């Protein structure tokens, strides 16, 4: 859970202006930092949801 705590703490430090900055995710996908965070959340939700169905 330390990884989640780290991300949450540092995400809270971002200003709206910083969230609107453009980045290139994984060296190939152009998006804003806000979109990258949304994609990361979507991705981890997919994996965590999938793990509960494999019990």
Interatomic CA distance for residues 40 and 27, integer angstroms:
15
CA 36 to mean position of chain CA atoms: 5
Query: Domain tally for the chain?
Result: 1
Q: Report if pTM > 0.95.
A: no
Residue 21 has a pLDDT of: 97
Residue 6 has a pLDDT of: 94
pLDDT tens digits, residue range 1-55?
A: 888 899 899 999 999 999 999 999 999 999 999 999 999 888 887 676 655 555 5
Residue 5 has a pLDDT of: 93
Tell me which residue range forms the domain holding 7.
2-52
């Amino acid at each position: 859970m330390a990884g989640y705590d780290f991300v949450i703490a540092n995400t809270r430090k971002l200003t709206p202006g910083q969230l609107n900055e453009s980045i290139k995710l994984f060296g190939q996908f152009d998006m804003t930092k806000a979109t990258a965070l949304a994609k990361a959340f979507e991705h981890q939700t997919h994996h965590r949801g999938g793990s509960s169905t494999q019990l």
